[in-house]
A and B are shown apart, each in its own frame.
Chain A
Amino acid sequence: MKQKSLGKQIRKHLPFYFMMLPALIYLFINNYMPMPGLVLAFKRYNVRDGVYKSPWAGLTNFEYLFTTKDAWTITRNTILYNLVFIVLGTACAIGVAVILNDIVSKRRKKVYQTIILLPYMISIVVVAYLVNGFLASDTGFVNHHILEPLGRQPVSFYSEPKYWPFLLVLINLWKGVGYSCIMYLANIGGIDPGFYEAASLDGATRWQKFIHITLPCLKPTIITMTILAIGKMFYSDFGLFYQVPMQSGALFNVTQTIDTYVFYGLMNNGNIGMSAAAGFYQSIVGFILVMTTNAIVNKVSRENAMF
């Protein structure tokens, strides 16, 4: 193909640039314009001097994240939960998408999809109280209506850390799977039915079709979604870890993440520089993780890398 001049190419694609514009403007305003504010992480913020003229603080704002004994716990929790969420979340989303796709009746499909999506729409505060309705010591459904009739000792869930890794993963899946499966559902719908017909003619089982047709077709989406999720690896869903365990101190070993730690530590003194430092740290690590993952994908299968 002959290389056209840049000007010509731009003119040719002008409508598409125009379509991009709103999103670009949004991105610029929402994500790029506040970026200079990152400088706050290195400042001793002072209202009178403003963001840019406040005195420099070096790295002192970051110290509290690393000098504490909890640094290891919160980092471990944040990363491990996110890993589990990425792996199980993707697996469940694909599973649900495949199952939904196989439902023939359009109406039923819509109904099921809506029901699965519903938890995603519920505010996490409400979720916290729903969970509390199940797990509360005195009046909770599990203790009152399941364990008691069975003659078992009631369990005080909010002071027993051992249940919470499972509970949090379960709640996260229940809440998020409906939303994340939409992407995969759309993708599966776009796979050429001819592949499946040909496979059926060759006598492929359902499972074989899934492994050899569906999964390979979803690969680019899976990789993109995973890279994006990895970029958020150092962030945690604040609502999930703050609201759902009802801030119970006894559970901190398994529920404290970087975000909740920063919140508990700073809520009484509202130090803007220190909270900015936490955000800065999370974004930098996220950036490095995205670049690394992408580089690895680039090595392994070049056509699936993001950039």
Chain B
Amino acid sequence: MDADPGSRYNQSIRTIRNDRQPHRRNSRTFDRVAAETEEIMKRRVIGMLLAGAMAAGLLAGCGGQEQGGAAVGENQAAAGTTENGGSAGAEGTGEVQTINMYTMGIGSTTDYKAVQDAINEISREKIGVEVNWTVLDIGQWFEQYNLLLSGSEPVDLMVNMGGVSQGVSQGAFLELDDLYAQYGQDIAACYDEEFLKAGVINGNLYGIAGQKDFAATTAITYRKDIVEELNLDVSNVKTLADWTPVMEAVHEAYPDMPVFVSNGGNTLNQFGSYNWDSLEDRLGVLMNYGEGTEVVNLYETEEYEALIRQMREWYQAGLVDKDAATNTESWGDMVRSGKGFFSLVTGNPGSEYEHTLNTGYPIGVIPITEPLSTTGNVTAVMWSIPYAAAEPEAAMKFLNLMYSDPAVSDLLNYGIEGVHYQVAEDGTYTWLDGQDMSSCAYHPAMTWIWPNSYIGGEWQGAAPELGKKMTEFNQNAKKSKAMGFTFDNTSVINEVTACNNVIQQYAYGLEVGAVDVDTVLPEFRQALKDAGIDKVIGEKQRQLDAWLAAQE
């Protein structure tokens, strides 16, 4: 060895020591520096320890479910004698319970805190509950969703964008049957029993959908101003083929603008729903509006092939956005920036207004399928109480209040009167003078997320009596035979995983017409077979039959 590293280090230590001594003797500077350094070190160490404690807490949070869960169980079993003294005793003593509520937000709304305080004033008085409201942005929401379910975050009440069945299979949600019976009278009053079934999994109620569209049509959703400008007649359009001449005319007038734009490109299936009940994941569906109970492979059907052939025809005629298969923007964003004329999206009586508001252009809607109601339509947005919730009863009381109190509904939808909106002469609500969607600090524009948006005031220009129309729409929609059925894919999870990958690989390109149907469709079908779709369908059929038998 040419140099012993140890000896070199020793030398430097000696140097440091020698350097130290004079300072110590001569000045206080060193002491001060040392103290400061120590302080910084201490802070750092504390920071480290804190981080460690947090990480440990995370683990403990996962591991400690049992205790939390047990406490909840006690709460329910022996209401009134719980160890934290909260829950049932509260009403009598006038004590206020606080619940943690998590919802999702889109866009520029920021004033949640002010609205929360306003809601609390009502809820404190009426039910003795205050809410601590956390809003996660949509991107964050999907990242943190599993964390919310894990029980390491204190969540008492949360909204779910689908995924309830997934949470239930992990045991993440509380059975709501008893709480619902005890505190959910107002929910029951505005809820069609038929739709409540969708939240029932394995015989227990886990999720309650808000009052919204429980059915959908697939609709040609287009820019009305262009149709009017070009004097096109769209009154006779009933099918996609009827629409082709309109597309051609628009293409001629606006050659640089893609006529058809996909919705969310490769993030959403173009034909996620149509005139079939996709039974959640389209791996095995009920065709013809779920009239029958035979689970079939959608991708082998003539209907599906006809749809993608139509898309291919449009694509080859230059009527489809060339980047539709890889574009990740929503159709609304594309239209808003003037890069598209129409898309095929799901519709309901409120769509026209909603899209007009979002895109900034007058939007027309032509349904090309009849309204169909499936489990998926109802479970798309559901409220649930996590298993680890500390205040499940207060959470149910608060949920019940959101269903029944018009003032709370108004606050959730439009914010505080005079701050976020004003009441016009005709009684409808409108922007404050000089404000609009982008400058108003509270206007989530998500009527579908709140438990009951139809009991409050109406927004100026929105479809009048939307609540009534929506209820009619829901009631008159065709009901799938599998309405209320939830598929548990645990036993075929390997096949489902493989099929999801195959669909990711082929379906998006086919459904916007970007690839050749004759060569790719057979490939797609074969790949699905290889991935085991038949096994998934078999299992689904077995579960559906069992479920149907249990319904009788």
* Chain B positions within 8 Å of A29 at CB level: 48, 51-52, 55
B59, B145, B328, B505: the one contacting A34 at CB < 8 Å is B59
The answer to whether A265 touches B498 (Cβ under 8 A) is yes
B48, B170, B507: the one contacting A272 at CB < 8 Å is B170
The answer to whether B48 touches A269 (Cβ under 8 A) is no
* Chain A positions within 8 Å of B172 at CB level: 47
**Residues 129-174 of B at the A interface (beta carbon under 8 Å):** 145-146, 149-151, 163, 166-167, 170-172
B507 to chain A: closest residue by CB? A249
B325 to chain A: closest residue by CB? A248
The answer to whether A249 touches B497 (Cβ under 8 A) is no
- Kindly provide the distance from the CB of A238 to the nearest chain B CB, expressed in whole angstroms: 13
Q: Is A67 an interface residue (CB 8 A)?
A: yes
Q: Is B323 an interface residue (CB 8 A)?
A: yes
- Kindly provide the distance from the CB of B299 to the nearest chain A CB, expressed in whole angstroms: 14
The answer to whether A16 touches B9 (Cβ under 8 A) is yes
B9, B44, B150, B493: the one contacting A274 at CB < 8 Å is B493
The answer to whether B500 touches A64 (Cβ under 8 A) is no
The answer to whether B504 touches A47 (Cβ under 8 A) is no
Q: Please choose the segment from A48-56, A92-100, A107-115 that sits at the chain B interface, where 4 or more of its residues have CB less than 8 A away.
A: A48-56
A30 to chain B: closest residue by CB? B55
Q: With A48-B66, A51-B62 known to touch, is A249 a contact of B506 (CB < 8 Å)? A: yes
* Chain B positions within 8 Å of A53 at CB level: 63, 66
The answer to whether A265 touches B501 (Cβ under 8 A) is yes
Q: Is A252 an interface residue (CB 8 A)?
A: yes
A67 to chain B: closest residue by CB? B494
Q: Is B56 an interface residue (CB 8 A)?
A: yes
Q: Is A158 an interface residue (CB 8 A)?
A: yes
B17 to chain A: closest residue by CB? A15
Q: With A29-B51, A45-B170, A47-B388 known to touch, is A261 a contact of B56 (CB < 8 Å)? A: no
Q: Is A6 an interface residue (CB 8 A)?
A: no
Query: What are the interface flags for A118-144 relative to B under an 8 Å C-beta threshold, 1 for contact and 0 otherwise?
Result: 000000000000001000111000000
* Chain B positions within 8 Å of A252 at CB level: 501, 504-505
Give the complex CA separation of A52 and B55 in angstroms: 16
**Residues 507-532 of B at the A interface (beta carbon under 8 Å):** 507-509, 514-515, 527, 530-531
Query: What are the interface flags for B362-383 relative to A under an 8 Å C-beta threshold, 1 for contact and 0 otherwise?
Result: 0000000000000000000000
* Chain B positions within 8 Å of A69 at CB level: 498, 527, 530-531
Q: Is B69 an interface residue (CB 8 A)?
A: yes
A4 to chain B: closest residue by CB? B6
B146, B328, B489, B501: the one contacting A68 at CB < 8 Å is B501
B44, B166, B167, B494: the one contacting A63 at CB < 8 Å is B494
The answer to whether B146 touches A272 (Cβ under 8 A) is yes
Q: With A45-B170, A49-B171, A269-B166 known to touch, is A64 a contact of B65 (CB < 8 Å)? A: no
Q: Is B326 an interface residue (CB 8 A)?
A: yes
Give the complex CA separation of A51 and B66 in angstroms: 10
The answer to whether A48 touches B65 (Cβ under 8 A) is yes
Give the complex CA separation of A246 and B497 in angstroms: 20
Q: Is A163 an interface residue (CB 8 A)?
A: no
The secondary structure that dominates the B interface is: helix
Q: Is B13 an interface residue (CB 8 A)?
A: yes
A139 to chain B: closest residue by CB? B323
- Kindly provide the distance from the CB of B70 to the nearest chain A CB, expressed in whole angstroms: 10
- Kindly provide the distance from the CB of A2 to the nearest chain B CB, expressed in whole angstroms: 12
The answer to whether B171 touches A48 (Cβ under 8 A) is yes
B489 to chain A: closest residue by CB? A269
Q: Is A156 an interface residue (CB 8 A)?
A: yes
The bracket for how many chain A residues form the interface is: 35 or more
- Kindly provide the distance from the CB of B261 to the nearest chain A CB, expressed in whole angstroms: 12
- Kindly provide the distance from the CB of B364 to the nearest chain A CB, expressed in whole angstroms: 25
Of A53, A63, A68, A69, the most chain B CB neighbours within 10 A belong to: A68
Query: What are the interface flags for A61-90 relative to B under an 8 Å C-beta threshold, 1 for contact and 0 otherwise?
Result: 001100111100000000000000000000
* Chain A positions within 8 Å of B515 at CB level: 159, 250
Q: Is A46 an interface residue (CB 8 A)?
A: yes
**Residues 428-477 of B at the A interface (beta carbon under 8 Å):** none
The answer to whether A158 touches B326 (Cβ under 8 A) is yes
Q: Is A210 an interface residue (CB 8 A)?
A: no
**Residues 40-83 of B at the A interface (beta carbon under 8 Å):** 44, 48, 51-52, 55-56, 59, 62-66, 69
The answer to whether B323 touches A158 (Cβ under 8 A) is yes
The answer to whether A270 touches B163 (Cβ under 8 A) is yes
Give the complex CA separation of A80 and B281 in angstroms: 33
Q: With A246-B326, A269-B496 known to touch, is A51 a contact of B63 (CB < 8 Å)? A: yes
The answer to whether A15 touches B13 (Cβ under 8 A) is yes
* Chain B positions within 8 Å of A248 at CB level: 266, 325-326, 509
A253 to chain B: closest residue by CB? B505
Q: With A47-B172, A51-B62 known to touch, is A249 a contact of B504 (CB < 8 Å)? A: yes
Query: What are the interface flags for A245-275 relative to B under an 8 Å C-beta threshold, 1 for contact and 0 otherwise?
Result: 0111110100010000100111111111010
A69 to chain B: closest residue by CB? B530
The answer to whether B149 touches A47 (Cβ under 8 A) is yes
A267 to chain B: closest residue by CB? B500
- Kindly provide the distance from the CB of B375 to the nearest chain A CB, expressed in whole angstroms: 15
The answer to whether A250 touches B325 (Cβ under 8 A) is yes
The answer to whether A246 touches B493 (Cβ under 8 A) is no
The answer to whether A159 touches B493 (Cβ under 8 A) is no
Q: Is A1 an interface residue (CB 8 A)?
A: yes
Q: With A36-B59, A252-B504 known to touch, is A64 a contact of B498 (CB < 8 Å)? A: yes
The answer to whether A52 touches B501 (Cβ under 8 A) is no
- Kindly provide the distance from the CB of A161 to the nearest chain B CB, expressed in whole angstroms: 11
B166, B321, B328, B388: the one contacting A270 at CB < 8 Å is B166
Q: Is B194 an interface residue (CB 8 A)?
A: no
A250 to chain B: closest residue by CB? B509
Q: With A47-B170, A250-B515 known to touch, is A70 a contact of B52 (CB < 8 Å)? A: no
The answer to whether B55 touches A33 (Cβ under 8 A) is yes
The answer to whether A64 touches B55 (Cβ under 8 A) is no
Q: Is B322 an interface residue (CB 8 A)?
A: yes
* Chain B positions within 8 Å of A249 at CB level: 266, 325, 504-509
**Residues 264-304 of B at the A interface (beta carbon under 8 Å):** 265-267, 281
Q: With A69-B531, A249-B506, A264-B504 known to touch, is A64 a contact of B497 (CB < 8 Å)? A: yes
Q: Is A26 an interface residue (CB 8 A)?
A: yes
Q: Is B387 an interface residue (CB 8 A)?
A: yes
Q: 11 A-B residue contacts at CB 8 Å?
A: A29-B52, A29-B55, A33-B56, A49-B66, A50-B62, A52-B63, A69-B531, A248-B326, A249-B505, A269-B166, A270-B145
With contacts A30-B55, A45-B170 known, what are 15 further pairs, Cβ within 8 A? A12-B6, A25-B48, A25-B52, A33-B56, A34-B59, A67-B494, A69-B530, A138-B322, A138-B323, A156-B322, A248-B326, A250-B515, A252-B501, A256-B501, A269-B493
Which 7 pairs between the two chains have the least Cβ-Cβ distance?
A: A265-B497, A246-B326, A137-B322, A48-B171, A249-B505, A50-B65, A64-B494
Interface residues in chain A, defined as those with a beta carbon under 8 Å from any beta carbon in chain B: 1, 12-13, 15-16, 22, 25-26, 28-30, 33-34, 36-37, 45-53, 63-64, 67-70, 132, 136-138, 156, 158-159, 246-250, 252, 256, 261, 264-272, 274
